[in-house]
Homo-oligomer: A and B are copies of this chain.
């Protein structure tokens, strides 16, 4: 079982988002286990991101299509011993000094999304990446 950790800021309060995340986590549960670590302050977020290799969600990072993302993530799971950690910043994003320490800076889009929406897009792309990897018709 692959392990995915997501380090993020603040709680997931919206009921609709909790429902959407639960749906994707259930679908993902055959391949990967997702754990959420919710920092309560910028300082705590910094401490968490400094403690391990992570992929930074960064609007100015590298843009990939879903096929290339799938290949990249599958390669990273192998390289990193089946464990990947993602970091999502708060309203101001991830501080530049911490961005430099990321193993990869990935951009979902040059658009700014709320960190709630970013959580949803992250799990949907993870699910899609696995479906692409196993050649399912989910992604066509």
Chain A residue total in the interface (Cβ 8 A): 30
Q: Would you list which residues of chain A between 109 and 140 have a CB under 8 Å from chain B?
A: 109-114, 117, 120-121, 124-125, 128, 139-140
Contacts A16-B17, A16-B19, A92-B140; is A113 near B121 (CB within 8 Å)?
A: yes
- List CB contacts (< 8 Å) of A83-115 with chain B: 91-92, 108-114
Complex Cα distance A91/B120, Å?
A: 19
Contact between B125 and A139 (Cβ–Cβ < 8 Å)?
no
Q: How far is the CB of A20 from chain B (nearest CB, A)?
A: 5
Question: Could you say how many copies of this chain the assembly holds?
Answer: 2
Point out residues on A near B: beta carbons under 8 Å: 14-17, 19-20, 23, 59, 63-66, 69, 91-92, 108-114, 117, 120-121, 124-125, 128, 139-140
Question: A125 and B108: CB pair below 8 A?
Answer: no
Q: With A and B bound together, what is the CA distance between A19 and B120 in angstroms?
A: 15
Set of chain B residues within 8 Å of A117, measured between Cβ atoms = 120-121, 124
Q: Is the pair B19, A65 in contact by a Cβ cutoff of 8 Å?
A: no
Partner of A111, one of B15, B20, B109, B112: B109
In the complex, are the beta carbons of B15 and A66 less than 8 A apart? Answer: no
